[in-house]
Structure 1
């Protein structure tokens, strides 16, 4: 059987790193993926896909991404269910990320440690070879 999903889209909010009771890092993110066709009003619509990231993938995404960052996700679809507070069964379908690539054109500074202002711009985040890279332009003051 094959269960593989490939998504490219934008994060809908800043990633929030969490950890399980036994200390494993994880995060839930929503990726907005624009459809390749227009609706009856001539507008492009998006699908909002729930994804879960684990361990180092979650930690790196929290460090280098923010709301609006373009990411590529390779993973698998997983379904689960739980009973909510009203006693109703709730079904959830999400993508469990196995690989995440950071594809934003502009550099996103690490959110873990603020950098002092200098004349030089911050070092760029490593970008996959497949991504389009903007040429470096020094910041003028």
Structure 2
């Protein structure tokens, strides 16, 4: 079975970070995801998708993302149900995020909301149930170094000797 979700959208409010009785961090948030088309009046509509993220990634998201932050998430759809105080069964469908990535620079984020942070990618490694399993990578915002030699083979301008038998065509 396949249950994969990839979303890019903006947070409608700051993530809500809580802790389970066992001490696991869980953050809930809503992503506003634009639709690919416009309505009859030319306005672009959005879907508001309920999401949840667990453990260290939840703490990182709550500390780094703010209302309006452009976020990409990867996860799965999950449905659950419970009985509310009136005794009615309530069904909930949400995206359980395995990882998230902040998709705009620190300066772009701060223009909308002071206190936001730079581009980063954060994920839970769900290979076992340990709370310490997570991967954190932070891409550098630097330009690549193109000052090296133009020849990728390290030759100093001489020609490469290849026989016709070595060519695949």
- Alignment TM-score, normalising by the size of structure 1: 0.76
C-alpha RMSD of matched pairs (Å): 2.4
- Secondary structure (helix, strand or coil) at the match of 1:60 reads helix
Structure 2: stretches of 5+ with no match in the other structure: 122-138, 144-169
**Maintained 8 Å contact 2:10/2:69:** yes
Using CA pairs under 8 Å that are at least 6 residues apart, name the structure with larger relative contact order, 1 or 2. Answer: 1
Deviations 1:22-59 (CA, angstroms, capped at 9, x unpaired): 10001110000000100122110000000000011111
Per-residue deviation, 1:15: 1.5
Higher helix share: 2
Larger Cα-atom Rg = 2
Q: Does 1:4 align with 2:4?
A: yes
Structure 1: stretches of 5+ with no match in the other structure: 110-114, 116-121, 136-141
Counterpart of 1:95 in structure 2 is: 95
Counterpart of 1:119 in structure 2 is: none
- Alignment TM-score, normalising by the size of structure 2: 0.64
Q: Distance in 2 between matches of 1:106 and 1:12?
A: 18
Q: Does 1:125 align with 2:84?
A: no
What number of residue pairs does the alignment pair up?
A: 119
Q: Does 1:105 align with 2:105?
A: yes
